[in-house]
């Protein structure tokens, strides 16, 4: 119960500070540049098991869609940044717990969010990075400040409405046909 109360206080503090933040111009090109900072190079070195070109490409495309306001892309970006390179160094993502938590909180505020599902993932991803993936503590005060800063930056860029959705071939997402990533491959008028 104490953990739930502490987490609710963190979320409400973050909510108050992000609501007043004005949108700043941010383009797809800038989103691509930022996404590339968050992925590792795909290496042909056989000593490393990472053959990540499709995952790297998907991440960069979904990163743009996340800034364009796509709920599923926001969830996926948050999860990718949380898992980092994976336990066997097989994934191309940089571990960034503050940004991962911020993206998951933003996704949870979407009009299509499933509160139970998002709350469960926020509970998992927004833990203290020093205790990642363990049932321990929520973000410490300095970590909460990092999450808050990431939230302000992301929210401001989303509110500017200057990043546009792009097709994501790896998940069969076509912007014109599907509308959002939740409908990838099936079209926007299809039931989920």
Two tokens, residue 44: 């042909």
Measured N-to-C along each axis, helices 97-108 and 71-83 cross at an angle, to the nearest 10 degrees, of: 160
Q: Name the band, by pLDDT with cuts 50, 70 and 90, for residue 3.
A: very low
46 Cβ contact list (under 8 Å, min separation 6): none
Average pLDDT, the chain: 78
Q: How far, in Å, CA of 54 to CA of 31, rounded?
A: 18
Q: How far, in Å, CA of 175 to CA of 125, rounded?
A: 28
Q: Name the band, by pLDDT with cuts 50, 70 and 90, for residue 115.
A: low
pTM assigned to the model? 0.77
Asked if 127 contacts 138 with a C-beta cutoff of 8 angstroms, the reply is: yes
Tens of pLDDT, residues 17-40: 444 345 568 999 999 999 999 988
Measured in degrees and rounded to the nearest 5, phi and psi for residue 173 equal -95, 120
Scanning the chain, the segments in alpha helix (DSSP H) are 2-19, 28-37, 53-67, 71-83, 97-108, 115-125, 141-159, 175-178
Burial status of residue 87 (CB atoms within 10 A of its CB: 0-12, 13-18, 19 or more)? exposed
Q: Name the band, by pLDDT with cuts 50, 70 and 90, for residue 121.
A: confident
What pLDDT sits at residue 6? Answer: 43
């Amino acid at each position: 119960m104490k953990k739930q109360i502490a987490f609710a206080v963190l979320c409400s503090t973050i909510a108050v500070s992000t609501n007043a933040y004005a949108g700043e111009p941010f383009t797809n090109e800038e989103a691509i540049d930022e996404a590339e900072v968050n992925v590792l190079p795909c290496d042909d070195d056989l000593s490393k098991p990472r053959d990540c070109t499709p995952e790297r490409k998907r991440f960069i495309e979904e990163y743009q869609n996340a800034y364009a306001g796509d709920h599923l892309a926001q969830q996926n970006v948050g999860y990718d940044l949380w898992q980092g390179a994976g336990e066997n160094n097989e994934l191309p993502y940089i571990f960034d717990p503050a940004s991962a938590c911020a993206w998951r909180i933003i996704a949870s505020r979407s009009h299509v969010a499933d509160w139970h599902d998002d709350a469960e993932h926020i509970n998992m991803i927004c833990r203290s990075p020093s205790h990642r993936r363990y049932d321990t503590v929520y973000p410490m005060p300095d970590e909460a400040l990092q999450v808050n800063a990431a939230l302000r930056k992301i929210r401001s860029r989303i509110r500017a409405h200057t990043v546009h959705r792009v097709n994501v071939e790896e998940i069969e997402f076509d912007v014109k046909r599907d509308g959002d990533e939740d409908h990838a491959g099936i079209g926007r008028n299809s039931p989920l």
